[in-house]
Amino acid sequence: MMAASSDVHVRICGQEIIKYDLEIKALIQDIRECPGPQSELLDLNSKVKEKFGQLRMRIENLEQMAKEQDKETDKLAILSETESHHKQMLSNQTAWRKANLACTMSIDKLEKDELLQGGDVSVRQRKTTKESMAKTSSDITESLMSISRMMSQQVQQSEEAIGTLATSSRTVLETNEEFKAMTGTIHLGRRLITKYNRRELTDKLLIFLALALFLSTVLYILKKRLFPFL
């Protein structure tokens, strides 16, 4: 029952990861198509950042579930799935950065057009836009570095799990060799016991024949001395 419950939790966690991944992709597409104003772009980036936080948490939960597996094969399978989700999240981070750059260029172009028309408001908006986009770019870079660290830890854990599995395999192989050696020793002992049993039977038979011959000789001598006339 505990194994079945664990499988259910793993599946639910995987489904939630896929859900967050699709939501992030949809928000990134919205950023690509965002015509402005700056407040709308900032709102979209805030939502993306929130979704990335939720996604990262669920991936960490899945990784923890992998560590709690009893079977090494199940552990490796879940760790492999976790590593795949890490790579997908990194891909989404890159797409997020590119979408923001594209949107920034679009907004800059719009501001330049307005600036040529002599709009002071456009100058202030451009300054605000550049500052906001610089902060967003910094946030994205920080998220990419965090994902990179997580992936490095995931690779290390996978290597440790594989090493543990290899050690277990060697232990099983050595145990199997010892079992074969013990089986050979048991068979040899059985043959020796059988041989000794046969030898014992032969010895008993020889002793019996020798005793019979001895008794026959004694009876013959007694007969000749006591009853010489017979």
Question: Using CA atoms, how far apart are residues 33 and 37, in angstroms rounded to an integer?
Answer: 12
Tell me, what's the pLDDT at 27?
92
Tell me the average pLDDT across 40-60. 90
Tell me, what's the pLDDT at 122?
47
Helix H or strand E encompassing 84: helix 72-116
Calculate the alpha carbon distances from 8 to 12, 50, 77, 107, 170 in Å.
6, 26, 15, 46, 32
**39-53, 127-141, 175-189: the lowest-pLDDT one:** 127-141
Question: Using CA atoms, how far apart are residues 175 and 167, in angstroms rounded to an integer?
Answer: 12
State percent of the chain over pLDDT 70. 70
Question: Using CA atoms, how far apart are residues 46 and 158, in angstroms rounded to an integer?
Answer: 33
Tell me, what's the pLDDT at 129?
55
Question: Using CA atoms, how far apart are residues 203 and 228, in angstroms rounded to an integer?
Answer: 36
Question: Using CA atoms, how far apart are residues 27 and 51, in angstroms rounded to an integer?
Answer: 9
pLDDT digit string (tens) for 171-225? 767 767 776 777 777 777 778 777 767 777 787 888 888 888 888 887 778 777 7
Question: Using CA atoms, how far apart are residues 60 and 86, in angstroms rounded to an integer?
Answer: 10
Question: Using CA atoms, how far apart are residues 134 and 140, in angstroms rounded to an integer?
Answer: 10
